[in-house]
């Protein structure tokens, strides 16, 4: 399963209606810490395939989603289960910290 790029048009379908828990990476191309976290998120998406869906939301292109979910700093990783936010991590984390958060959500 690859990481899906999600917009306001498909957020409902790809995140809120997804049967698996979903990790949403709110990021922007100019954000240094986002560039560090991005490859880690992609690796974790592959390693947790079938247990976790992973999506990325570019906050510059999807300002309404960023406002709706109260994204004030990036990267912000938000975990959804059955359409409800269950965990949020703000700022860059290493791979083991993120896998630990995934394990808690799963």
Domains and CATH numbers, the chain: 4-105 (3.40.30.10)
Task: List, by residue number, the catalytic residues.
Answer: 31, 34
Cα–Cα dist 104/106, whole Å: 6
CA angle (19, 57, 66) in 5-degree steps = 105
pLDDT at site 1 = 57
Name the pTM for this structure.
Answer: 0.96
pLDDT at site 52 = 96
Q: What is the mean pLDDT of residues 64-87?
A: 97
């Amino acid at each position: 399963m690859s990481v899906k790029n999600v917009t306001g048009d498909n957020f409902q379908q790809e995140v809120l209606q997804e049967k698996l828990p979903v990790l949403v990476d709110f990021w922007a191309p100019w954000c240094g810490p986002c560039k560090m976290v991005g490859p880690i998120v992609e690796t974790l998406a592959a390693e947790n395939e079938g247990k976790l869906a992973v999506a990325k939301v570019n906050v510059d292109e999807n300002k309404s989603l960023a406002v709706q979910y109260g994204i004030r700093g990036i990267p912000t990783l938000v975990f959804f289960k059955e359409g409800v936010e269950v965990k949020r991590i703000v700022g860059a984390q290493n791979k083991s910290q993120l896998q630990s958060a995934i394990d808690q959500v799963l």
